[in-house]
Amino acid sequence: MAEVYNWHLGRSMAYAFPEAHPQKQFAAVFNINRCIGCQTCTGACKATWTFSRGQEYMWWNNVESKPYGGYPQHWDIHILQRLDEAHQAAGKQAEWDQAQAGESAPYGVYQGLTITEAAGAEQQALGYIPPDTEWRAPNFYEDTSTGYQGDRLGISTAGASLPEHQTWFFYLQRLCNHCTYPACAAACPRKAIYKRPEDGIVLIDQARCRGYRKCVEQCPYKKSMYRGTTRTSEKCVACYPRVEGSDPLSEGVPMETRCMAVCPGKIRLNGLVDIAADGSWAEAPNHPLYHLIKIEKAALPLYPQFGTEPNIYYIPPRWAPRPYLRQMFGPGVDEAIARYAAPSRQLLAVLQLFRTTQRMIFRFEIEEGPLVLETEVNGQPWQMFNDTVIGFDAKNREVARLSVVEPIHERPAERLNSI
Amino acid sequence: MHKRSRWLGGLILLGLAATLTFFRIPLASSQGLTLRSAPVTGALPVSDPGSALWLEATAIEVPLSAQNVTRPMLPDTRVKTVTARALHTDSQLAIMVEWADETHDDSMIRVQDFRDAVALQFPLAAGQPFFCMGQQGGNVNIWHWKADWQADIAARADMNTLYPSMHVDQYPFTAAVDPLAVAPADYVDPNYLPALASGNLFASATRASPVEDLIAGGFGSLTAQAAEGQNVQGYGAWADGAWRVIFARDLTSSEAEDVTFAAGQVYSMSFAAWDGANGERNGQKSTSQWVGLQLGAQTDGAAQPDQPRPSQSSAAAPSDPLGMLYVFGPMVLVAGLIMALAGGALALSALLRPKDRP
């Protein structure tokens, strides 16, 4: 075991391999608040990669309704339970020390055990293999909320109001996190799993895989999947021909993955961020992902306590109970929701960039516009400006230009009834 | 006097460990075992575990224990011993391995299903590399029999084998009329079976043998030989709570990655076994240490006289510092620990003595 630095945890941790970082890292931000649960992402992925024999239950991208849904069923509850048992056995608490938060520890310091640290001497990480029964109903509990508290007729007397709804669910969009410290790669006894130096995409070498399913067992997010037809395991490939810019449509520049590019709810923003030699994100305040994650801290990693440093980040849902969200996204939840509810001029502008182009945006510029709204958010004054955000692709070409206020086109009177 | 004898005891232990290491005297019980292959004439019973010919071979019991050197490990593996017999003609060698296994696991279709399997391992150079997967510079040739491959030869299992009521509209890029019956061979574009397209034998549309022929040089390096180099035949059958598996290959092979045999010679080999029902796969297995394999000379028509340590009689001296470290390192450590304990006890007694006699 080597010591590696995990900035999500704000500390060093044990991992199977010493630090070796890619030049760029595949990453994305998902805005849970905007997801309508339409599964277009799921279908796009399925129709691109997993429509063949033996992949029937394989959904590299899925959207599940939290708190009850999960694919495979209850995957997060299963691993959280194992992690909790390990903490109890070790007499430790899975707590965060937010007082130690700083530049290299934006959420504070995690003082509990990761799945690697809780593994013991015999395995690389805590884990389990979900049986086929847990994979084959990928959207169980769809749209199922927590228990409704109504009056005798079932009607809520108070209604639902922020900041926390009493009756709630939200959609969680999931794919492989292309982790900085992938548990699947650590788990594979024959090193058939590798992380690409050019973009940090994690792949299973189909020539070397021997179907041991250690990756299925030890990926805490359960995004390595076994294929009985080939007797090997497969996983999300991050649509690497698109990310490489080798897809004919991409005109030689990196392009968002299929699941990102089809999103009707415009909840996804996908890109490549520059990684410094020490594994930290190279400072790039005008990169939309860097801005959302590192500057605004509006988007957070999923279950950072697992310790794999996942690279899909989520803007948490404003209406869900905070203790649940803190367990899922770590201690940064309250700040992230506060920032999202009353966004800065820059954040509001960057949020417009989601799903405006298939090309990955590497840089943005903001042209300031006039003040258009003055109001109060959560008791504080808040101003909205009609700024314009411009996105640029890998070749520094303008690929997106949007204003905060959506342009309105009024139909002239003589054409009122025209289609 | 008392003190001196304790130090002497520690020194003796250390000396013993050093002597064992220097003369390579093994402590494990499977070492010193020799599987003597009986020479026979005519065809070997390569697919008949019940053949009377096997009675001509002397059976040996080989003790197995859980692999406990590298992760992942499974301390409670189920196969504790295998019985081995060997027969050879002047051109072919056959080895039969039997072991008790209450469950018959020959499917690898569902995510939670693991196969029963057994493997033989042979050093590719003179001497004995590390007994578990060889080591860098000490390659081993491995013959790996798989229960699911054996079942595939009769009828290749796929999703509809396990899920007979499944439905599918179509699988694109296949030429099959009935989508439910689609097999890897039906794919007109194998890229939709990437393991097959990359030449992974696991995904092969057809299987000629239930035995995979591999090479390894340390943990994580196991690599299948190319499809054209797969030259080990085999047959396995499960009955009454036991597997009987036969491996067969020509004595000679032109491939550098294959072990070769000659009558009258002594070789090293080791065994590994997996119980699929216990989730055993990869290094989560039962393994033996090196045992001898001696091919009786054809002219004798009988086994050679006993040779207690067959590996010692091979011409080249073993040179495997890493393997020695694994086997003898712990002994030296234990000796050191005992010395340290004895020293500590002495120091303690020296400290306490004045208090006892104020």
**ipTM for this prediction:** 0.92
* Same domain for B222 and B79: yes
Together in a domain, B215 and B340:
no
The two tokens of residue A86 are 């390990």
Per-residue confidence band for A150, with pLDDT thresholds at 50, 70 and 90: confident
pLDDT tens digits, residue range A358-407? 999 999 999 999 999 999 998 999 999 999 999 999 999 999 999 999 99
Q: What six digits make up the tokens of A211? A: 């179907």
**Taking residues B286-315, what's their average pLDDT?**
62
B192:A135 CB<8 A = no
Count how many domains chain A has: 2
Shared domain check, A254 and A382: no
Q: Do B171 and A231 touch (CB under 8 A)?
A: no
Q: How confident is the model at residue A162 (pLDDT cuts 50, 70, 90)?
A: confident
Nearest to B121 by CA among B190, B222, B206: B222
Q: What distance in Å separates the CA atoms of residue A261 and residue B243, rounded to the nearest whole number?
A: 53
Rounded Cα–Cα distance for residues B161 and B107 (Å): 10
Alpha helix (H) residue ranges in A99-154 = 132-135
What is the rounded distance in angstroms from the CA atom of residue B212 to the CA atom of residue B230? 7
* Helix, strand, coil share of chain A (percent; to 5): 25, 20, 55
Q: Is there a contact between A56 and B168 if contact means CB atoms under 8 Å apart?
A: yes
Identify all chain B residues contacting A232, using CB atoms and an 8 Å cutoff. 195, 200, 202-203
User: Do A302 and A393 fall into the same domain?
Assistant: no
Chain B residue with CA closest to A224: the answer is: B111
pLDDT at B329 over 80: no
**Domain interval for residue A311:** 2-143+167-341
Inter-chain residue contact B220 with A191, CB threshold 8 Å: yes
Asked if the structure places residue B176 within a domain, the reply is: no
- Judge: B200–A234 Cβ closer than 8 Å, yes or no: no
Q: Which residues of A touch B198 (CB under 8 A)?
A: 205-207
- B57 and B110 housed in the same domain: yes
Please give the mean pLDDT across all residues of chain A. 96
- What's the pLDDT score for residue B333? 63
**CA separation for the pair B336, B348 (Å, rounded):** 18
Cα–Cα dist A92/A114, whole Å: 12
Contact state of A231 with B148 under an 8 Å Cβ cutoff: yes
Write the CB contacts of B9 (distance below 8 Å, at least 6 apart in sequence): B342
* Over residues A24-40, mean pLDDT: 98
Q: What is the pLDDT of residue B348?
A: 63
Compare CB distances from A189 to B110, B173, B282 and report the shortest one's residue.
Answer: B282
Whether A325 and A354 share a structural domain: no
Q: Determine contact, residues A231/A194, Cβ cutoff 8 Å.
A: no
- Domain-embedded: residue B172: no
State whether B81 and B121 are in the same domain.
Answer: yes
Distance from CA of B105 to the nearest CA of A (A): 15
Name the pairing type of β-strands A62-66 and A363-367: unpaired
Mark whether B67 and B34 lie in a shared domain.
Answer: yes
Work out the minimum CA distance from B75 to partner chain A, whole angstroms: 8
| Same domain for B245 and B228 | yes
Distance CA B265, CA B38 (A): 13
Among A245, A243, A302, A236, smallest CA distance to A79 is for A302
> Residues B117, B231: one domain?
yes
- Whole-angstrom CA distances from B50 to A251, B41, B56, B293, B305 are 66, 18, 12, 22, 27
Question: Per-residue pLDDT averaged across B10-36, rounded?
Answer: 57
Nearest Cβ partner for A212 among B110, B192, B281: B281
Instruction: Judge whether residue B298 has pLDDT over 70.
Output: no
Cβ-Cβ contacts under 8 Å, A205 against chain B: 198
- The beta-carbon neighbor of B158 closest among A190, A207, A229 is A229
- Same domain assignment for residues B253 and B356: no
Q: Is pLDDT of B10 > 90?
A: no
Query: Which pLDDT score, from 0 to 100, does residue B340 have?
Result: 67
Among residues B312, B327, B349, which one ends one of the domains? B312
> Would you call A209 and B283 a contact, using CB atoms and an 8 Å cutoff?
no
Question: Looking at this protein, which amino acid is placed at residue A233?
Answer: S
Domain assignment of residue B161, yes or no: no
- Tell me whether residue B234 is in a domain: yes
Instruction: Read off the pLDDT of residues A335-369 as tens digits, 9 standing for 90 and up.
Output: 999 999 999 999 999 999 999 999 999 999 999 99
- Choosing from A309, A341, A373, the residue where a domain stops is A341
Task: Judge if A385 and A284 occupy the same domain.
Answer: no
**CA separation (Å) from A158 to A63, A148, A164, A165?**
30, 12, 13, 11
**Is residue A216 less than 8 Å (CB to CB) from chain B?**
yes
- Identify the bridge partners of residue A204 per DSSP, sorted by sequence position: A193
A121 interfaces chain B, CB cutoff of 8 Å: yes
Whether residue A48 is found in the same domain as residue A29: yes
pLDDT of amino acid B183? 87
Between A and B, how many CB-CB pairs are < 8 A?
Answer: 121
With a cut of 60, say whether residue B17 has pLDDT above it: no
B327/B189: higher pLDDT: B189
Measure the CA–CA gap between A176 and B232, rounded to whole angstroms: 39
Q: Do A209 and B195 touch (CB under 8 A)?
A: yes
Structure tokens at A348: 């509001």
Report yes or no on B297 lying in a domain. Answer: yes
Instruction: Name, in order, each residue with C-beta under 8 angstroms of A156's C-beta and a sequence gap of 6 or more.
Output: A148, A149, A150, A167
List the structure tokens of B255.
Answer: 């491939």
C-alpha distance from B272 to closest chain A C-alpha (Å): 16
C-beta of residue B151 within 8 angstroms of C-beta of residue B278: no
pLDDT of residue A155: 75
**Above pLDDT 70, what percent of chain A?**
99
Residue A382, Cα to own-chain centre: how many angstroms? 28
**Who among A187, A190, A207 is closest to B199 (CB)?**
A207
**Domain for residue A243, yes or no?**
yes
Distance of CA A61 to CAs A199, B63, B113, Å?
A: 19, 47, 24
* pLDDT in the model for residue B66: 97
Same domain, A250 and A178: yes
Edge-to-edge, what's the strand order for the sheet holding A24-31?
A: A268-274, A24-31, A312-315, A300-301
The answer to whether the beta carbons of residues B215 and B142 sit under 8 Å apart is: yes
**Could you tell me if residue A278 is inside a domain?**
yes
Let me know whether B19 and B34 are in one domain: no
Q: Are residues A274 and A383 in the same domain?
A: no
What digits encode the pLDDT tens for the residues A226-244?
999 999 999 999 999 999 9
Give the domain CATH number at B124.
2.60.40.1190
C-alpha dist (Å) from residue A25 to A136, A267, B123, B179: 32, 20, 43, 39
Tokens 């007979």 sit at which residue?
Answer: B164
Contact B200 A214 (CB under 8 A): no
Could you give phi then psi for residue B271, rounded to 5 degrees?
A: -120, 150
Q: Please give, rounded to a whole number of angstroms, the shortest distance from the CA of A145 to a CA of chain B.
A: 30
Q: Give the count of domains, chain B.
A: 2
Residues A392 and A314 in one domain: no
Q: Look at residue A199 and tell me if it is in a domain.
A: yes
Neighbours of A315 (CB within 10 A): 24
pLDDT at B353 over 90: no
In percent, the amount of chain A with pLDDT more than 90 equals: 90
Rounded to whole angstroms, what are the CA distances from B315 to A129, A320, B127, B265, B318? 48, 74, 9, 10, 9
What single string gives the DSSP state of each residue in A58-111?
--SSEEEEETT--SSTTHHHHHHHHHHHHHHHHT----EEGGG-BTTBTT-EE-
pLDDT at position A247: 85
State how far residue A347 is from chain B, nearest Cα, in angstroms.
42
| Residue in A135, A212, A230 nearest the CB of B195 | A230
Tell whether A120 lies on the interface with B, counting CB pairs under 8 A: no
Q: Is residue A222 part of a domain?
A: yes
Question: What distance in Å separates the CA atoms of residue A41 and residue A39, rounded to the nearest whole number?
Answer: 5
SS3 assignment, position A368: coil
Cβ pair A189:B72 closer than 8 A: yes
C-beta neighbour count of B269 within 10 angstroms: 23
pLDDT band at B26 (very low <50, low <70, confident <90, very high): very low
> Are residues A240 and A357 both part of a single domain?
no
**Residue A97, both tokens:** 């020390």
For the segment B236-240, the average pLDDT, to the nearest whole number, is: 97
Nearest by CB to A216, from B70, B111, B183: name it: B111
Task: Write out the two tokens for A139.
Answer: 């959207």
Contacts of B111 in chain A (CB under 8 A): 129-132, 135, 213, 216, 225-226, 228
Residue A399 lies in a domain: yes
Q: Is residue A16 part of a domain?
A: yes
Same domain for A334 and A363, yes or no, is no
pLDDT band at B28 (very low <50, low <70, confident <90, very high): very low
Residue of chain B whose Cα is closest to the Cα of A122: B73
Model confidence band, residue B299 (pLDDT cutoffs 50, 70, 90): low
> How far does the CA of residue A52 sit from the closest CA of chain B (Å)?
5
Is residue B165 included in any domain, yes or no? Answer: no
Interface of B with A (CB under 8 A): 70-75, 108-112, 148, 158-159, 162, 166, 168, 171-174, 182-184, 187, 192-200, 202-203, 219-223, 279, 281-283
Type of residue at A383: Q
Query: Which pLDDT value is given to residue B229?
Result: 96
CB contact under 8 A, B171 and A53: yes
In the predicted model, is pLDDT for residue A254 greater than 60?
Answer: yes
Q: Which of B105, B109, B111, B170 to mutate to test the interface with A (most CBs of A within 10 A)?
A: B111
Cα of A138 to nearest chain B Cα, Å: 15
Contact flag A231-B194 (C-beta cutoff 8 Å) = no
B182·A53 Cβ contact <8 A: yes
In a domain, B186, yes or no: no
Looking at the structure, tell me whether residues A255 and A371 fall in a common domain.
no
* Residue B321 pLDDT: 45
A368 and A330 in a common domain: no
Residue A355 forms part of a structural domain = yes
* CA–CA min distance B305, chain A (Å): 41
By residue range, what is the domain housing residue B346? 1-24+318-358
| pLDDT score of B310 | 33
Q: Can you say how many angstroms the Cα of residue B134 is from the centroid of all Cα atoms in its chain? A: 11
The DSSP H or E segment spanning A402 is strand A398-403
Do B20 and B39 share a structural domain?
no
**Pairwise CA distance, residues A318 & A170, whole Å:** 10
- On chain B, the residues whose CB falls within 8 A of the CB of A229 are 158-159, 184, 193, 203
A176 close to A329: Cβ distance less than 8 angstroms: no
Long-range contact pairs involving B41-48 (C-beta distance under 8 Å, separation at least 24):
B41/B89, B42/B89, B43/B89, B44/B87, B44/B88, B44/B89, B44/B92, B44/B93, B44/B94, B44/B248, B45/B87, B45/B94, B45/B246, B46/B92, B46/B94, B46/B233, B46/B234, B46/B235, B46/B246, B46/B248, B47/B235, B47/B246, B48/B235, B48/B246
Which residue in B111, B173, B200 is closest to A226 by CB distance? B111
Cα dihedral B172/B178/B181/B187 (nearest 10): -30
Instruction: Please identify among residues 175-194 of chain A the ones whose CB lies closer than 8 Å to any CB of chain B.
Output: 187, 189-191
pLDDT at B24 > cutoff 50: no
CA–CA gap between residue A72 and residue A131 (Å, rounded): 9
> Is residue A419 one of the residues assigned to a domain?
no
CB pair distance less than 8 Å for A207 and B112: no
- Residues B87 and B147 reside in one and the same domain: yes
Task: Note whether B356 and B303 are same-domain residues.
Answer: no
Does a structural domain hold residue B242?
A: yes
Residues of B in contact with A222 (CB under 8 A): none
